[in-house]
Amino acid sequence: MTEDATYRLAVVDLLGALAYGELTAFERLAEDAAFAPTIADKAALAAMAVAEYHHFALLRARLEEMGAAPEEAMDPFTAALEAFHERTAPADWLEGLVKAYVGDGIATDFYREVSAYLDDSTRDLVVTVLEDTGHSAFAVDRVRAAIVAEPRLAGRLALWGRRIVGEALSQAQRVAAERDALSALLVGGLADRGADLAEVGRMFARLTENHTRRMAALGLSA
């Protein structure tokens, strides 16, 4: 297989994973809106869900332009993402906010790191669909307010955040191990596009540092 063919497979994998992630983000936000404590919260989450679906539509359209079937591109990643969501089903509204903020944050950081090894057009698309829909500020505001009102929540939510990051990294490693083209893109199997193993290690260190900062923003210990 030529380098260009392998690169195309890697891009299809990446866009497929992103597309399914955006689709499930839409579903989760819509579900969270149903449990929101106020009408204003419901409206805010509904607007964010619409934005996530728009991101999904952009990715689906690019896959179609590439001659790839969107459903087939997403299919290899459904099991890992569904397993992640099954293992991290939130018990209440606040756990749902922490999960979305921490879990989506890790995924966003990872895809931004990978985008450095993409062609300009694909990189621009990835950056666009990773734009924050406003959920970060929303989650931080609601979680911090809840902790101020009831300080004992901090311990439980901190443990929950640690569980989320562990599960997220575990599933990411599983996906990378199963998708050869995507792994090659990341670890340098594609000349002049990938990163060496030392850089991969530094990348995961950056992901961990960003997670620590997010937990601090929530008022939680990492």
Within 10 A of 85 (CB to CB), how many other CB atoms are there? 17
Helix, strand, coil % over all residues of the chain, rounded to 5? 80, 0, 20
Tens of pLDDT, residues 153-212: 999 999 999 999 888 888 777 776 677 777 777 665 444 444 556 666 777 788 888 889
- The count of C-alpha atoms lying within 13 angstroms of the C-alpha of 207, restricted to the half-sphere facing its C-beta, is 24
Name the nearest CA neighbour of 82 among 28, 162, 35, 159: 28
Judged by average pLDDT, the poorest of 22-26, 52-56, 175-179 is: 175-179
Give 86's DSSP letter: H
**Structure confidence at residue 189 (pLDDT):** 47
pTM for this prediction: 0.86
The CATH class given to the 3-218 domain equals: mainly alpha
| Separation CA 7–CA 83 (nearest Å) | 27
Q: Please report, for the chain, the start and end positions of each structural domain, with discontinuous segments joined by +.
A: 3-218
- Round to the nearest angstrom and report the end-to-end CA distance of the chain: 43
Residue 38, classed as helix, strand or coil, is coil
Where helices occur in 130-196 by DSSP H, the ranges are 135-149, 153-178, 180-187
Judged by average pLDDT, the poorest of 24-28, 43-47, 212-216, 218-222 is: 218-222
- For residues 55, 60, 65 and 71, what is the CA-based torsion angle, rounded to 10 degrees? 160
Residues with Cβ < 8 Å from 180, sequence gap 6 or more? none
> Which amino acid appears at position 36 of this protein?
A
